Structure 1
Amino acid sequence: MNKAAKIMGISFPKFTMDQCLQILSDVAGRKKTELFHVVTGNPEIVMSCQHDDELRGIIDRAGLITADGIGIVMISRMRGGDLPERVTGCDLLIKLLETGDREKWSFYFLGADEPTSLKAAEVIARKHPNVSIAGRHHGFFKEEEEAKIVEEINAAAPDFLIVALGAPYAERWIHKYRNSLNAKIAIGVGGSLDTIAGKVKRAPEIWRKIHLEWLFRLIKQPSRWRRQLILPRFAVRALFYREKS
């Protein structure tokens, strides 16, 4: 059985991207029972779980947690956890779309602004013609509109519900409706639709290979500096965190 690496009390299974894809392929191929919630766990989520019991409960209940960020992987290795690689929301979504093109999976996309949502759907339809785009809705909705969105998702009955509302809001939203959503798998993917639509440029592959994607994003979006202050705080706290047995 695959063991997990603990980061500040959160258990990250030691799965590679290929293993995660296999797990999700198996779930997508089964008859729906309950919603399978995938959390792409980044340092921000891990830090929030330290003082937010509700979020911690959501994460603990997830069907799968992936290591979204090199910081998670590096801390794991420094503490002997040895996570094999990072599995980010963006990379996972891209791989799922590639696999979905072969398997003819259906997707519902929730998130981003309306022009970005529309553009992302157009790009996906062009690159992956065998993927069924069961529906989409922008992420700038009011609470009173949520019931209608859930109805629309349920009518579409997608294999994958892709929620691009940002962490940890996406995780809370999925959990809020997990017992009424007619989808097999729900995944929070951060700003991945912005990347697919071309609104945000992703770091070149060489930057990703040397684990400096975060720096590339900071250079391109200097306004992110406040958000990225959490990274050194996470590194220090996680490195010296005393895990409970």
Structure 2
Amino acid sequence: MIKIEKKFLFKLGENYSFINPYSLGVVCQSLTASECQKIKFLADGIAIVIYARLFKKKSIKRTSFDDTSLAPIVFQYACHNNLSIALVGGTPENIRQAKSLLENKYPGLRILFSESGYFANQDAYQSCLDKVVSADILIVGMGAGKQEQVLLDARAKGWQGTGFTCGGYLDQIVQARGDEYYPRLLNKLHLRWLYRLLKEPRRLSKRYFKDYPYFLIKFGNKIE
């Protein structure tokens, strides 16, 4: 079962991930029930919020790791409390640019380690896990299933920090050059999905119009 929290409560030492209809299906198929219990899930996008309200009689808030929601809170908290951050995800060039843009956007942000999510082999992956163990906050953007597994594997290595999956956020901040990715009006109207669809129609058309309804029908009963 996937328990979706009603709202975000920042608690150090927890793993947080963000569920939309697509990632719901991927997570249900790639993680065990006991692994899911080790992660606090939040609703990423209006589709899960509406589904939970209509079919689960549960009122939850949309919480995403992006600049319209949680990302500024996490980075500002890290700055104010001098917490170190590890970033994992994207291509080598993408993660390099994302690190630079975040450091410029949040003066004093201490990014201890940054690594591409494309690992040459298992040894490279294990080496990455060894390095992130010393970080206070770990942010992983590698796609559904994989990014949650990184948090769990880091925890198994002895890491005791706070973890967040971030989906495509590292790519978004590079595309926007550190500015806001979503137009404010579309964000206010909960039309972020439409904006992304217009920017990436070939990649997202199938996901939004086929995978979203399919996974909600197949795995919606897994939502608590």
Identify the residue that residue 168 of structure 2 maps to in structure 1: 191
Identify the residue that residue 38 of structure 2 maps to in structure 1: 61
Identify the residue that residue 214 of structure 2 maps to in structure 1: 233
Give 1:99 shift: 2.3
Identify the residue that residue 5 of structure 2 maps to in structure 1: 13
2:153 to 157, 176, 188: 176
Letter in 2 for 1:226: K
For 2:37, what is the secondary structure of its paired residue? helix
For 1:11, what is the secondary structure of its paired residue? coil
Identify the residue that residue 116 of structure 2 maps to in structure 1: 138
In structure 1, C-alpha distance between the alignment counterparts of 2:63 and 2:4, rounded to whole Å? 11
Going from structure 1 to structure 2, the CA distance change for 1:58 and 1:140 (only over 3 Å counts) comes to: same
The share of aligned pairs that are identical, in percent, is 22
Identify the residue that residue 94 of structure 2 maps to in structure 1: 116
In structure 2, C-alpha distance between the alignment counterparts of 1:46 and 1:216, rounded to whole Å? 21
RMSD: 2.4
For 1:61, what is the secondary structure of its paired residue? coil
Gaps of 5+ in 1: 1-8, 28-34
Matched, 1:149 2:112: no
Q: TM-score, normalised by structure 2?
A: 0.85
Identify the residue that residue 46 of structure 1 maps to in structure 2: 24
Letter in 1 for 2:53: R
CA contact (8 A) 2:65 2:169 kept: yes
Give 1:139 shift: 1.1
Letter in 1 for 2:183: P
Per-residue Cα deviation, 1:36-57 (whole angstroms, up to 9, x for no partner) = 221212212322355x373443
Letter in 1 for 2:205: W
Letter in 1 for 2:206: R
Give 1:104 shift: 2.1
Q: TM-score, normalised by structure 1?
A: 0.78
Give 1:13 shift: 1.8
Letter in 2 for 1:215: L
Give 1:226 shift: 1.7
Identify the residue that residue 89 of structure 1 maps to in structure 2: 65
In structure 1, C-alpha distance between the alignment counterparts of 2:223 and 2:81, rounded to whole Å? 41
Per-residue Cα deviation, 1:195-223 (whole angstroms, up to 9, x for no partner) = 12226983212112211111111111012
In structure 1, C-alpha distance between the alignment counterparts of 2:25 and 2:63, rounded to whole Å? 18
Per-residue Cα deviation, 1:40-84 (whole angstroms, up to 9, x for no partner) = 12212322355x37344322222x21111111111112132111x
Alignment length, in residue pairs?
Answer: 216
Letter in 2 for 1:227: R
Gaps of 5+ in 2: none
Identify the residue that residue 47 of structure 2 maps to in structure 1: 71
In structure 2, C-alpha distance between the alignment counterparts of 1:243 and 1:225, rounded to whole Å? 24
CA contact (8 A) 1:162 1:187 kept: yes
